Amino acid sequence: MIPVSQPFLPPIDEYNSLISKLWDTKWLTNNGPYVQQLEDKLKSYLHVPSLQFVNNGTAALLLAIKALQIKKEVITTPFSFVATTTSILWENCQPVFVDIDPRTLCIDPDKIEEAITDKTEAILATHVYGIPCDVTRIEKIAKKHNLKVIYDAAHSFGVHIDGKSLLEFGDISTLSFHSTKLFHTVEGGAIINNIGDKLDQHLKLLRSFGFEGENYQTVGINAKNSEFHAAMGLCNLKYINQIILRRRMITEIYDGMLANWVEKPSIPEGVEYNYAYYPIIFENEQELISVMNKLKNNNIATRRYFNPSLNKLPYLENNSSCPISEDISKRILCLPLFSELHVCDVEKISKLIMEGLANESTDNRRGRLYRV
């Protein structure tokens, strides 16, 4: 089976040489030297002023909401991984869904202001697939209404916009280093705080039970990560540029073969992209299901990332409507994309999709097939 994603693993000797030292030091967790090294290296690689390594991307979101003392309504996107919404709910806040821009699939800034009430305290938006939200407009709206901004940047490792790290926008950006993500530490994540040192200190406390030494200052949680995870990150970081280049090459092959067949979300001008995902948009759900099954029958996995639209989660109290997100969720499918995917498989996958669409459908599609 060709999976939809596959984690990069560094040469095992490189990992072992870091890990074997732990048998001497016996310092396995609690802000150990590998964690500190990884934080430093990530800060410089990502061009961000502050970064804290945590145990996963969901914990990063929870800490962000907690640290910014958000308690009421949070304007958020319906088109993301479920953790974006559940983090808001877990912190006993109220998610208020604002529909997405049909081109970037990120929250639509034109629709944010009409969703603001006297209880709105924050905007939590996702740079979905690593495509930047309209950070400039969101910043303006947030300033005008005195709102905090958190970006779920789980997909945005290494993305730059006009030469600046995307992670530098908003009050806080959160990353996930889960093994399905572009850069991974098996499990892991990070918080990037753009407010300043005081918040850094507070986040450190929250990450580690809310105390330092004998000073019990606040209610914290355990969101630390271990030396084993940090060592995986240190090894993987050495290969990240190669990984991104390889994924770019695969993306370009898909693009070349599928351009006339399916739509894709669009990446705005000035964005240095990271090739985190390869989503394609079909004309309707029936086409998607037929192509997905065809690929499955040929031992190729795909993923309906992201479906359902999060405003339709069954456990939400308020039933809101986001027609664009609900429509796109039914028609979007992520294709296999990982650094070790073979070129011949990329071609095979693309051909199966073209065949599937040609069989599926309309005369104009058939016409397109003959033109290829």
Ligand X SMILES: *Cc1c(COP(=O)(O)O)cnc(C)c1O
**Which residue's Cβ lies closest to ligand X?**
57
Measure CA 175 to chain center: 7
Query: Looking at the DSSP assignment, which residues form a beta bridge with residue 123?
Result: 75, 149
Q: Of 126 and 350, which CB lies nearer to ligand X in the complex structure?
A: 126
Q: In the complex, what is the shortest distance from the CB of residue 25 to ligand X, in angstroms, rounded to a whole number?
A: 27
For ligand X, the closer of residues 155 and 229 by Cβ is 155
Q: Which is nearer to ligand X, 124 or 147 (CB)?
A: 124
Q: In whole angstroms, give the CA distance from residue 130 to residue 133.
A: 9
Cβ proximity of 105 and 131 under 8 Å: yes
As measured in angstroms, the least distance from the Cβ of 3 to ligand X is 16
**Closest separation between CB of residue 19 and ligand X, Å?**
22
Tokens matching residue 129 = 């697939």
User: Which is catalytic among the residues 181, 294, 296, 351?
Assistant: 181
114 touches 136 (CB < 8 A): no
- Long-range CB contacts for residues 253-257, cutoff 8 Å, separation at least 24: 253/343, 253/346, 253/347, 253/350, 254/278, 254/335, 254/346, 254/349, 254/350, 257/347, 257/350, 257/351, 257/354
Per the document, the length of the chain is 372
What's the min distance (Å) between Cβ of 169 and ligand X?
16
Cβ 57 to ligand X, closest distance in Å? Answer: 3
Contacting residues toward ligand X, per CB under 6 A: 56-58, 80-81, 83-84, 126, 152, 154-155, 176, 178, 189
Q: Which residue, 86 or 320, has its beta carbon nearer to ligand X?
A: 86
- Look up residue 206 and give its two tokens: 């929250």
Measured between alpha carbons, how far is 134 from 5 in angstroms, rounded to an integer?
Answer: 28
For 137, residues 6+ apart whose C-beta sits below 8 A from its C-beta are: 109
Question: Which residues have C-beta within 8 Å of that of residue 217, sequence separation ≥ 6?
Answer: 205, 210, 211
Q: Is 181 a catalytic residue?
A: yes
> Among residues 191 and 357, whose Cβ is nearest to ligand X?
191
Residue 83 vs 244, nearer CB to ligand X: 83
CB of 100 vs ligand X, minimal distance in Å = 13
Would you name the residues annotated as active-site residues?
A: 181
